[in-house]
Copies of this chain bind each other. A is one copy, B any other.
């Protein structure tokens, strides 16, 4: 999985370095990009003009920016995920009924990718938007996924990405992770108690296909002051599990 290409096409790598820099800088000129990347500006110019020609980058009065053609590719990639199509309406319902923020996450390359986010009427404003990628062990969604993966895949992912925590409460040893995953399997749901973001709690449930393979997870998240006692420990878990079950049924018959 974590294989490195034997015969990598360096220009392809550079292409994506340019795009990533364009994203990090939130749009930039040739010179600025060249300095940021540490490569000559004539080279950067070659890449940018090629990308513009292919319509993957747009030049708005002197500033190059990531183009909407990536939205085409990205929307396609999302559309291809069975889970998205099926879970979206159910997560919309989850968000509407709880008033909170509903989420869908899937694993790819050992990381979590947010497929969708539904805002209820009281939903917290979270900076991370759709497409954001996060370490699996730092969110309830990710832990719900890890809990239902074959042990060897969990090992491979931990080996590759480590257990570096974004916040203090995060899991940081293998033993802690094992214990947590066992708890999640028993309970059926995973919790996130301000592990990734201050003041934010989250309740997640895995979504399995008919062969009991994990295909993703859904969750509701909200502020600690509304996520406490019975609502956090009983009411919301039950709700999330119910929605996950509906999704699993729909996944099976499709």
Residues in A lying within 8 Å of B, measured CB to CB: 3-9, 11-16, 19, 23, 26-27, 45-47, 49-56, 58, 65-81, 106, 108-109, 113, 115, 129-133
Contact = CB atoms under 8 A, between A and B. Distances in A.
A49 B6 contact: yes
Nearest to A17: B54
B68 A8 contact: no
A42 B51 CA distance: 24
B74 A72 contact: yes
A11 B12 CA distance: 6
B131 A73 contact: yes
18 contacts: A3-B53, A9-B46, A11-B11, A15-B15, A26-B80, A66-B76, A67-B108, A67-B109, A68-B81, A68-B106, A68-B115, A71-B74, A71-B115, A72-B132, A73-B73, A73-B131, A74-B74, A74-B75
Contact of A80 (B14, B66, B74, B113): B66
